[in-house]
């Protein structure tokens, strides 16, 4: 849909952040850290599954969101809201979103 490759060999988030670390053949915590170090433009968070994450993965993702992301939108489904986070613009730089726009209400190429 977006024409972008996934940032990891793990096809599903639970394979990367859940209890499958022993089956992965390498450090999934290291893989989470590697992905976050690339500063992906967007991070999608489903809080309905947050409690199933390994603590180290949840801590790393939460720290990355706090450090450099802003909530861009909320998308509701039957269980809960899905959060879309985007890289925060550097101080003084335009974010591409009109000032005062509530998260999730922005539409168009600027969002």
Neighbours of 41 (CB within 10 A): 12
77 found inside a domain: yes
pLDDT score recorded for residue 36: 95
pLDDT score recorded for residue 79: 83
20 found inside a domain: yes
DSSP H or E segment with residue 30:
helix 28-37
- Structural domain count, the chain: 1
Rg (Cα) of the chain, in Å, rounded? 15
Three-state secondary structure call for residue 28? helix
Neighbours of 9 (CB within 10 A): 11
pLDDT score recorded for residue 108: 44
pLDDT score recorded for residue 6: 77
Question: What's the CA gap between 19 and 55, in Å, rounded?
Answer: 10
24 found inside a domain: yes
Record the pTM.
0.74
* Per-residue pLDDT tens listing for the chain (111 residues): 567 777 787 777 787 888 776 666 667 888 999 999 999 999 999 988 899 999 999 999 999 999 999 999 999 988 888 999 999 987 777 665 555 555 555 544 444
Domain ranges, residue 43:
13-87
SS3 content of the chain, % helix, strand, coil (to 5): 35, 20, 50
């Amino acid at each position: 849909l977006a024409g972008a490759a996934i940032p990891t060999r793990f096809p599903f988030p639970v394979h990367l952040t859940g209890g499958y670390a022993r089956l992965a053949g390498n450090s999934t915590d290291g893989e989470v850290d590697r992905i976050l170090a690339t500063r992906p433009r967007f991070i999608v968070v489903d809080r309905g599954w947050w409690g199933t994450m390994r603590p180290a993965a949840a801590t790393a993702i939460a720290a990355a969101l706090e450090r450099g992301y802003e909530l861009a939108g909320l998308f509701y489904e039957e269980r809960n809201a899905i959060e879309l986070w985007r890289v925060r613009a550097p101080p003084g730089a335009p974010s591409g979103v009109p000032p005062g726009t509530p998260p999730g209400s922005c539409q168009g190429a600027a969002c």
